[in-house]
Every structure is written in C-alpha cells, then in structure tokens.
C-alpha cells in the first residue's frame, strides 16, 4: 500500500483513539452500593478522573498531537510520533496500574449518605471503560509509531505557509523594478515585497 494513502487515515485514527481515551477516562470505572440498616441504600462511583487524573490529560495530548501532524514538518512529525508513543505507553501503564478501590473510592464511600463507619460495600463492580481507555492508548502508541516511521513519505504544507522570516534573502522582491503582478505574486507566496 502507498504510504501517502495512509496519511489521512492515520491522522484521523489517532484523533479518534485520543478522543476515545479521553471519553473512557471520564466515565465511571467502578461503582458499588452502600447499605445500612434503617437508611436508604446509596450508589457510589468513581470515574477515571478520580482514579487516574493524568489519564484524561494524556489523552488530550494525543488529540493535540494528531492535529500537530497536519501542519508539522517531517522532523517535527517524527518527534510528535515518538512523543505519542511515549505518552501512550505511560498512560496505558498508569491506567492499568490504577487502584479503582483505593483512596478515591474510599472517599466516595465515606461521603455516602448511607455510610455509618462500618458498612463498607461488599461488592465493587468495575466497568469496561478502564479497559477501553487502556486499549485506546495501546492503539495510540501503535499509530504514533506509524507517524514516526512514515513522516518522511507524507506530504507537507508548501513554503507559502511559512512565516516570511523563514525565507532566505534571495526570496526578496526588488520593489523598484517589480511590476504590480510581481508584488502580488510575492504576497501570494507569503513573502513581504517591501523588504
């Protein structure tokens, strides 16, 4: 398959898995019911943000990196690809090692209206969102590796989108000898004809 054809699908897939990781990191990861004699039962839950607050932020890094690939040069794309791999692996480890029944869950139980001090919930139900988040980060790491590997074969923006200072001195237009068409052409190419 032609590497140039993978450009759009890889960027869109990276954007999608970053969004999926963010969605998973903001959903409920564990829930339980706190019950006590004489009190109404109370459902408590913790989200990915409660258990692993950095996971949602790292998912946004993946989303931003996917957008950066569109406007970046070849070298910057390679750096972005490696960054996505490192961030995604770190986030995946963070998500999988997070203790859903740890301090965030204990705090949610203790703040429950049905908590009496001795009635910790017997059954804690973990949702699938934690695994979805981890899976999204695994896919992001693979896509980051693809970005780093294929960055040199993908199209980049033309020089017309570079800042005028990025052009060399030989790009200047002599305004005394230039026709109006030359001046407009210089402006279209992103050069300042008055320099």
Q: What is the pLDDT of residues 118-172, one digit of tens each?
A: 888 878 899 999 999 999 999 999 999 999 999 888 877 666 555 655 555 555 5
Q: Provide CB contacts within 8 A for 120, sequence distance 6+.
A: 34, 109
Residues 112 and 143 in one domain: yes
Same-domain check for residues 64 and 149? yes
Let me know whether 186 and 127 are in one domain: no
* Tokens 């004699």 -> residue: 37
Verify that 141 and 65 share a domain, yes or no. yes
For 46, the domain range is 3-157
Dig out the tokens for 34 from the structure.
């706190």
The verdict on 48 and 17 lying in the same domain is yes
Tokens 């429950």 belong to residue: 112
**Does residue 77 sit in the same domain as residue 118?**
yes
Each residue's pLDDT tens digit, 103-122: 898 899 888 888 888 888 87
Three-class SS state of 136: helix
DSSP 111: T
Same domain membership, residue 114 and residue 85 = yes
Interval 31-38 mean pLDDT: 88
Q: Crossing angle, helix 53-71 and helix 74-97, to 10 degrees?
A: 160
The domain tally of the chain equals: 2
Copy the structure tokens of residue 136: 């999204």
Do 142 and 190 sit in the same domain of this protein? no
Q: Are residues 26 and 75 in the same domain?
A: yes
């Amino acid at each position: 398959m032609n590497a140039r054809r993978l450009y759009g699908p890889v960027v869109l897939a990276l954007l999608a898995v970053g969004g999926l990781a963010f969605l998973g990191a903001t959903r409920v990861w564990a829930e339980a019911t706190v019950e006590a004699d004489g009190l109404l039962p109370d459902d408590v839950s913790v989200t990915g943000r409660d258990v692993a607050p950095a996971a949602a932020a790292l998912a946004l890094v993946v989303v931003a990196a996917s957008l950066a690939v569109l406007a970046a040069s070849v070298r910057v794309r390679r750096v972005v690809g490696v960054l996505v791999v490192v961030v995604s692996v770190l986030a995946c480890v963070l998500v999988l090692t997070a203790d859903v029944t740890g301090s965030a869950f204990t705090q949610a139980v203790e703040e429950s209206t049905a908590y009496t001090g001795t009635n910790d919930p017997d059954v804690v139900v973990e949702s699938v969102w934690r695994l979805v988040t981890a899976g999204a980060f695994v896919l992001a790491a693979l896509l980051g590796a693809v970005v780093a590997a294929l960055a040199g074969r993908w199209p980049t923006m033309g020089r017309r989108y570079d800042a005028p200072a990025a052009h060399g001195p030989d790009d200047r237009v002599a305004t005394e000898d230039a026709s109006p068409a030359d001046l407009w052409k210089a402006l279209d190419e992103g050069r300042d004809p008055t320099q």
